[in-house]
Chains A and B, each alone.
Chain A
């Protein structure tokens, strides 16, 4: 890692990250080619990607961004958040509120001002916290600000009182559970049980149109690439090395004069915002956001994605998120009732036999091949990145 210090920003971000570079190239190709093949290649052709598949892949990209957010705090700073689904959901709700306001008078009750569920509840005017969400720019600010603010307040309280380890994990879990219960309530004004749905369009474009879907897919790909590079910028800076110091030996970092709580707070807030962006891109693609997104199990699943992919590498998180979600899509179709057992089993197996995840396994295989073929200097470099 030390060569990274010497290079310029580009070297630092991309050139020294061989696996990440490949991943970014693939992501870029996918982000461009999938929408093009959906829009330009005629249906029935082997190279046509259906809108259904594109939307599914778009979901994976959002999950991958969420996984990167979690890897940033867990893999590099040792903060095991079991509540990151909450930040994803908050970003999703912020986007959902904008999409609700876009419906205008096309709702069932044709009220130009109020979303249907408010009319149904006999509300006469828009609550104050819904003001401004008819503006896209305002909603986008809230996509970052709502998760960011919650993470900030939570982080100040937790990190300043030096809550760490299992205790921190438990209170993050409690946080998302509390939000789940709150958002279920009708009088919270977020659509209660049903959440927000029946969206019509975004920025004036029909959400059902293939072109809009393609644009959203492209945006998700770009957001993932951007999120990856932001995270990479952080972890390759000296700040990133301080985070690793905190992860490995928190008291050492303190006695070196680093205010551990501010470092944790910074990275936690950045991570929550990345999760918020992921949620905001997810909602228009799946067409609904409801309190179920706050369910504790969702947050635990994210941890499994990252663990399976390989923690502390960033690209491992992307790979893990895509792999596990692909498996989920497949197996919930084939053997729905077994999926949760398989997910649990996957986590146990990963923890026991693949502590560095799939990318660690890959590095191991490479190393073995190199050493068996007698190649010079095998090994050392391959493990350096995946070290946890």
Chain B
């Protein structure tokens, strides 16, 4: 739990990454990446393929160990020391690019399993559906618009609905920080806009980090944008600022 390296900025952050590097067989997936997310902030991450977006999520969530650098959660927990399950239980939720819901369980069961707490084997064995939990599940089902399909297998949902179910599962975890990888992929325009609205509502209570390619979606999010390129931050600021940035234009259009 000790802080590996003292922070060099003084305002509170929910996620603090400083000088994080990861290489695979000599390829630098992350190259001294530094990024800070404030409590309650929504941040969009863009960048060309291979910019290191997924690797960044992997190091935050304990899937990949960085070679060097500091990653702090809430200014105190050193995330590089924990595995996926521990990081998740600290309050970091992650949504994958490909919707990964448990297809052979019902929508209801998927949400039920995501609810915060009760992660030990014994607790799972004696778990009971309390009225409080039922209420929480209903609340989430309403939010993601899947109430009337709650007893159907998640595998029978459409792609967009699976995305929403996975977002619902994230909410069940009650995380402080949500890492969301391409939520709008495979969604209709209408669904995309609904998702953006949902995220804006969530940003008040949670911090969100959204990786996305869809520029309309990012525009709808209306938040600070970070551009990644070759494993480091290329530009940061409002969407207009980064769009006007010469380097960003080169990276996106120059090849």
Interface positions of A (Cβ within 8 A of B): 1-2, 5-6, 234, 237-239, 241-242, 244-245, 248-249, 251-252, 254-260, 262-263, 266, 384, 387-388
The reply to whether A252 and B124 contact each other, CB–CB distance below 8 Å, is no
Knowing A245-B105, A257-B173, A259-B119 touch, does A239 contact B127 (C-beta < 8 A)? yes
**A-side binding surface: helix, strand, loop or mixed?**
helix
Selected A-B contacts with CB under 8 Å, 24 pairs: A1-B105, A2-B109, A5-B109, A5-B129, A237-B124, A237-B127, A238-B127, A239-B121, A239-B127, A244-B104, A249-B101, A249-B102, A251-B96, A252-B100, A255-B84, A255-B85, A255-B88, A256-B88, A257-B89, A258-B124, A259-B119, A259-B120, A262-B120, A266-B121
The reply to whether B109 and A256 contact each other, CB–CB distance below 8 Å, is no
Cα(A256)–Cα(B108), bound, Å: 15
Cβ–Cβ < 8 Å partners of A263 in chain B: 121, 124
From A2, A242, A248, contact of B106 by CB (8 A): A2
Cα(A102)–Cα(B195), bound, Å: 72
Which residues of B75-133 are within 8 A (CB) of A? Answer: 83-85, 88-89, 93-94, 96, 100-106, 108-109, 112-114, 118-121, 124-127, 129
Q: Does B151 contact A (CB under 8 A)?
A: yes
One digit per residue, 1 when the CB lies within 8 angstroms of any chain A CB and 0 when it does not, for chain B 137-173 equals 0000000000000110100000000000000010001
Q: Does B61 contact A (CB under 8 A)?
A: yes
The reply to whether B104 and A248 contact each other, CB–CB distance below 8 Å, is yes
User: Shortest Cβ distance from A163 into chain B, in angstroms?
Assistant: 16
The reply to whether A241 and B113 contact each other, CB–CB distance below 8 Å, is yes
Knowing A245-B102, A248-B103 touch, does A260 contact B127 (C-beta < 8 A)? no
Cβ–Cβ < 8 Å partners of B121 in chain A: 239, 262-263, 266
Knowing A1-B109, A241-B113 touch, does A257 contact B85 (C-beta < 8 A)? yes
Knowing A5-B129, A255-B94 touch, does A242 contact B108 (C-beta < 8 A)? no
Output the residue of A238, A242, A244, A256 with the most chain B CB within 10 A. Answer: A256
Cβ–Cβ < 8 Å partners of B84 in chain A: 251, 254-255
Given contacts A239-B124, A242-B124, A258-B85, 7 further A-B contacts (CB under 8 A): A237-B127, A238-B113, A244-B104, A248-B102, A255-B88, A266-B121, A384-B153
The reply to whether A256 and B113 contact each other, CB–CB distance below 8 Å, is yes
Knowing A239-B125, A244-B104 touch, does A255 contact B61 (C-beta < 8 A)? yes
User: Shortest Cβ distance from B58 into chain A, in angstroms?
Assistant: 11
